[in-house]
Amino acid sequence: MKKLMTIATFAAFVFLLTLAPATASETEKVFKFYCAQCHGLTGKGDGPNVTKDFPVSPRNFTNAAEMNKLSDADLKNVILDGGPSVSKSPMMPPWGKTLTAEQVDGLIRHLRTLCQCEGKQG
């Protein structure tokens, strides 16, 4: 019985191990596909759409001071409903009809790794 438990725990561990990095890399893929065109592949706000006529700079996600002003709920709102929903530029598109809820949650975690910050709490 004990042996069985060990095997089960081990299997669960291996399962989690393979699951966790897969979701992180899946999220990175989602970020690079949809967000990097404006925010840049490393999130610095320097994607190929940002030429000198681009009206506002897309948020630099590595700027912890700025990113700390936003809570996870703020991030979720702007990702789902676009810039105007939080009185920001319409150049930040609404992604609510494009991304799944899991993809949005993954992106929020990804932005937190990029800024190395927790964000505003509450």
Partner 1 sequence: MKHMLTAVLSAAFLAAAASPGSAAGGDVFEAKGCVACHYTDGPAREKTIDDQLAKKGPELWYAGSKFQKDWLAGWLADPKPIRPMKFNSLTEENPGDHPKLDGADVAAVTDFLMTLTTDEVEAGKVKPKKNPKGRQIFIKKMPCSGCHQYVGRKKKISGGRSGPSLVEAGLRLNPDWILAYLQKPKVFKPVKMMPVFTGLLSDKDMTNVARHVASFKPKK
Residue 82 found at the interface with partner 1 (CB under 8 A): yes
Residue 25 interacting entry, from ligand HEC, partner 1, none, C-beta within 5 to 8 Å by type: none
- Report DSSP letters for the chain, one per residue: -HHHHHHHHHHHHHHHHHHHHHHHHHHHHHIIIIIHHHH-TTSSS--TT--TT-SSPPP-TT-HHHHTTS-HHHHHHHHHH-GGGGTS-TTS---TTTS-HHHHHHHHHHHHHHHT---S--
One residue of 78, 92, 114, 115 binding partner 1 per CB under 8 A: 92
Closest CA to 88 of 74, 102, 73, 99: 74
One residue of 27, 38, 107, 115 binding partner 1 per CB under 8 A: 38
One residue of 24, 44, 54, 112 binding partner 1 per CB under 8 A: 54
The window from 14-22, 70-78, 93-101, 108-116 that contacts partner 1 (CB under 8 A) reads 93-101
One residue of 98, 101, 118, 120 binding partner 1 per CB under 8 A: 98
**In the complex, minimum distance from the CB of residue 26 to ligand HEC, in angstroms, rounded to a whole number:** 14
**In the complex, minimum distance from the CB of residue 121 to ligand HEC, in angstroms, rounded to a whole number:** 16
Interface residue list for partner 1 (CB under 8 A) = 29-30, 32-34, 36-38, 41, 47-49, 51, 53-54, 82, 90-98
